[in-house]
Amino acid sequence: MRSFRLLTLAGAALMAVSGPGQAQDAPTRAFTGADLFKLEGATDPRISPDGARVVYVRRTGDIMKDRYQPSLWMVDVRTGAQRPLVADANQNMAPRWSPDGSRIAYVSTAGGAGAQLHVLYLDSGTSVRVTGLPDTPGAMAWSPDGRQIAYTMRVPAEGAKLGKAPDKPEGAEWAKPLTIIDRVTYRFDGAGYAKPGYDQLFVVSADGGAPRRVTAGNWDAAGPIDWSADGQRIYFTGNRVKDWERAGNETEIYSAELASGAIRTLTDRRGLDLNPKVSPDGRLIAYIGADDAGRSHENFELYVMNADGSNPRSLTAAFDRSIGDFEWAGNSAIYASYADKGALKLGRVGLDGRMTTLVDFLTPGTISDRPYAGGAFSASRNGTLAYTSGAIDRPGDLFVKSGDAARQLTRLNTTWLQGKDVAPMRKLAVTAPDGRAIDAWLIEPVGRQPGQKVPLVLEIHGGPHTEYGPGFATDYQLYAAAGYAVLYTNPRGSTSYGEEFANFIDKNYPGPDYDDLMASVDAAIADGLADPKNLFVTGGSGGGVLTAWIVGKTDRFAAAATQKPAINWTSEMLTADLATGAPRYWFGAMPWEKPEEYWRRSPLSLVGNVRTPTLVVVGEQDYRTPISEAAQYYQALQLRGVPTAFVTVPDAGHGITARPSQSAAKASAIVAWFDRYRTDKAKPAAPAIAGN
């Protein structure tokens, strides 16, 4: 397809190689696609039990392998000195301290047998592989005495059978056998078609040896997992109800007794209970849960119950924010993260429910094209916190906090970013038509003169129940380097503003979020930044839905780029990997029960109104918003004669920016598309694109 040429040319532009005798160009201060390979981030910080050291996963760009390489690094909390712990050509990740702090379990591809559990002995620096698993280990947890490690792993099962092929002659070359599918959810974005089997719980000696299987049956045992204080039971999350595949948002917390294998159900809720964590004294289990009220969003509340499952109670019922990760702070309080107005925060929750904020801004150390709120933390026994935080100009670094004193331990991108001009960000005040305040941020192009109006890109988050925040995003820096301002917002439907705000779009998406987005654009114009003749719009997943919805509602944008969208809700619901949830929680009915409602909210229903030149972008292996959705929209635009092009990302799922080269190329393709329709500069001599 000719549309692939745009992607290929953008990728080729990542590096310029000078020939013999040629003078090399001076380094540019502009942020470029090649800079994605220079970025590093600190993720999964794990502080030692005594609070003296932190091991974290350092993600480093590898331009030769086109990926971010994970390695393990250790930092001394007192001095800040850091050193590589397990840093080689393998993928090393998921570090977990032994209870006595003498060893670290982690997952590594070392040894060529796939991802396996390894244990590093810190006194000698020796690393030992303790498993030889047929599949990648999932959740893992040390036993309280440090002698065993529990983990989850998929156990293959015999698939469904229907008839059989004739007997194959010896030496014959036949086609692959038929695949018979009988599961409700039969494929997963990023993982492909599900192989027959279930996730089960295992334990293995920390010294190595044969593992022992703990659970069985046609149910999954999911993580995170934890041990009872006496080491006799393991707690996990699952869904062992009848017809569990169609049960919707339904999980419970279970215990598995090691001696007998007996399974006990500890929670009983219509909804979700998950992530059990045992208090240090073993008396209580903390977990998060949410009632199933049939709405598209429910806050996760922090609960505690007795170790036998009795006396469950919510600690955060009066706290109108959703709880994310958490850890015990001794036996009488819990550290918990929660998103608030676009920022992930870290607080301390007493058993009386009182919340005290400890850290105002966690940010992810992963390299992301868009500024979703995120971050990670862990806590030592003495209350020292390790967490990731950053700023608008860089991914997350490693920080520690003890008492009121916080210190930054790593500065992974400082040196090379000193030679770059990073586009600044500022908050923009936005008032929706109904008077409600909407959070919005502006990224300004470097070198913009006071009073100068510049082209504006409205970039819309996915979800729709998630949130953006004031963090680093590679797409935004690339757009700004090309002369565009970027406007990003949290319209109603976004999380981190309470259940009411998120559920303004319950059974009505797309809907009133459109008005919030238009009000944000109006505010950027009134601010004096945005050129009203050069407005552009893009977004991915839920943002791709809204992009296609917007160009069906208004002609105010000069061009658009819808990324990995859902276009026809009926076909999307029946081809996506998570087909059981959306009909129940987003529509309240199956497509054949309310076909007119599915069509009314489908961007495809508005395609007859579209005159805006619209680029369509999707991963070839996307199972969340399948490529068939994007293809429908592209073909419809072609049939109407609307300028369009179809960019597909090879071997990519819903996360189309997982490979740095493709992330840079995707942004370059969108910039090239927008450049075609800018009126404030000469049109570039770009290659021809199908549909123009």
Residue-wise pLDDT for 336-363, tens only, equals 999 999 999 999 999 999 999 999 999 9
- The answer to whether the beta carbons of residues 284 and 315 sit under 8 Å apart is no
Query: Distance (Å, rounded) from C-alpha 423 to C-alpha 14?
Result: 20
Residue-wise pLDDT tens digits, 636-653 = 999 999 999 999 999 999
Mean pLDDT of 64-89: 96
- In tens, the pLDDT along 537-584 reads 999 999 999 999 999 999 999 999 999 999 999 999 999 998 888 899
Closest residue by Cα to residue 378 from 329, 424, 344: 329
Q: Would residue 632 count as lying in a domain? A: yes
Can you give the pLDDT at residue 195?
86
Instruction: Render pLDDT for 514-532 as a digit per residue (tens, 0 to 9).
Output: 999 999 999 999 999 999 9
Question: Alpha helices of 29-187 — where are they, by DSSP H?
Answer: none
Q: Which domain holds residue 495?
A: 425-567+602-676
Among candidate residues 40, 120, 47, 43, the one with its CA nearest the CA of residue 86: 120
Q: For residue 5, what pLDDT is reported? A: 32
DSSP class of 494: B
> How many CA within 13 A on the CB side of residue 280?
14
d(CA 150, CA 227): 8
- H helices present in 464-614, as ranges: 474-481, 499-502, 513-526, 542-553, 569-575, 582, 595-600
Tally of structural domains, the chain: 1
Residue 608 forms part of a structural domain: yes
Query: What are 484-518's pLDDT values in tens digits?
Result: 999 999 999 999 999 999 999 999 999 999 999 99
Tokens, residue 198: 């279930």
- Please determine, for residue 6, whether its predicted confidence score (pLDDT) is greater than 60: no
Predicted confidence at residue 682, as pLDDT, reads: 56
Establish if 168 belongs to a structural domain.
no
Which CATH number does the domain housing residue 666 bear? 3.40.50.1820
> φ and ψ at 526, to 5 degrees?
-65, -30
Cα 323 to Cα 290: distance, rounded to the nearest angstrom:
10
Whether 26 has a pLDDT exceeding 80, the answer reads: no
Q: Is residue 553 part of a domain?
A: yes
Residue 292, amino acid:
D
Report the alpha-carbon distance of residue 615 to residue 406 in Å, rounded.
45
Q: What is residue 113's predicted lDDT score, i.e. its pLDDT?
A: 77
Residue with tokens 């969340």: 624
- CA distances from residue 620 to 414, 537, 574, 650 in whole angstroms, order as listed: 36, 23, 18, 5
Residue 180 lies in a domain: no
> Considering the entire predicted model, what is its pTM?
0.92
The answer to whether the CB of 117 falls within 8 A of the CB of 149 is yes
Q: What pLDDT is stored for residue 245 in this prediction?
A: 82
**What single string gives the DSSP state of each residue in 632-679?**
HHHHHHHHHT--EEEEEETT--S-TTSSHHHHHHHHHHHHHHHHHT-S
Burial class (CB in 10 A: 0-12, 13-18, 19+), 136: middle
On whether the CB atoms of residues 270 and 252 are closer than 8 A, the answer is no
With contact defined as beta carbons under 8 Å apart, do 563 and 538 qualify? yes
Higher pLDDT, 456 or 21: 456
| pLDDT for 567 | 97
Query: Is 622 part of a structural domain of the chain?
Result: yes
Q: Peptide bond before 312: cis, by omega within 30 degrees of 0?
A: no
Q: Which of 11-25, 202-216, 591-605 has the lowest mean pLDDT?
A: 11-25
Residue 611 has pLDDT above 50, yes or no: yes
Q: Is residue 612, in this structure, part of any structural domain at all? A: yes
Quick one: pLDDT at residue 688?
44
Residue 418 within any structural domain of the chain = no
- Angle at Cα 35 formed by Cα 32 and Cα 41, nearest 5°? 140
